[in-house]
């Protein structure tokens, strides 16, 4: 256990950051899974916009590497195009 005041503060702040980071990672994974699981065009377009937004926010905050974000966006874009062209 930390004894110095600054070390105790560092523990508190790192716990807060850990919670926020975990929440953000979970949100990114959830929105991608929802988007890839949907085959209805109207619903998919709404989820697609939300997914792109969440991925971009995660990238700008440093949660995702830009290439990882590009790969995830590419995957859901391919799914969107496949669903649109099938109907």
Query: For 28, what's the count of Cα atoms within 13 Å in the CB-facing half-sphere?
Result: 20
Domains of the chain, first to last: 25-86 (1.20.58.110)
Which residue, chain included where needed, has tokens 């109207």? Answer: 42
Burial class (CB in 10 A: 0-12, 13-18, 19+), 67: exposed
3 state DSSP class of 63: coil
Mean pLDDT, each 10-residue run in order, the chain (87 residues): 92 95 95 96 95 96 95 97 88
pLDDT at 1: 80
């Amino acid at each position: 256990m930390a004894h110095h005041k600054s070390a105790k503060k560092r523990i508190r702040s790192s716990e807060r950051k850990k919670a926020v980071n975990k929440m953000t990672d979970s949100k990114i994974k959830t929105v991608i899974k929802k988007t890839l699981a949907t085959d209805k065009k109207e619903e998919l377009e709404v989820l697609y916009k939300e997914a792109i937004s969440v991925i971009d926010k995660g990238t700008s905050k440093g949660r995702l590497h830009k290439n990882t974000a590009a790969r995830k966006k590419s995957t859901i874009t391919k799914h969107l195009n496949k669903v649109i062209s099938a109907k």
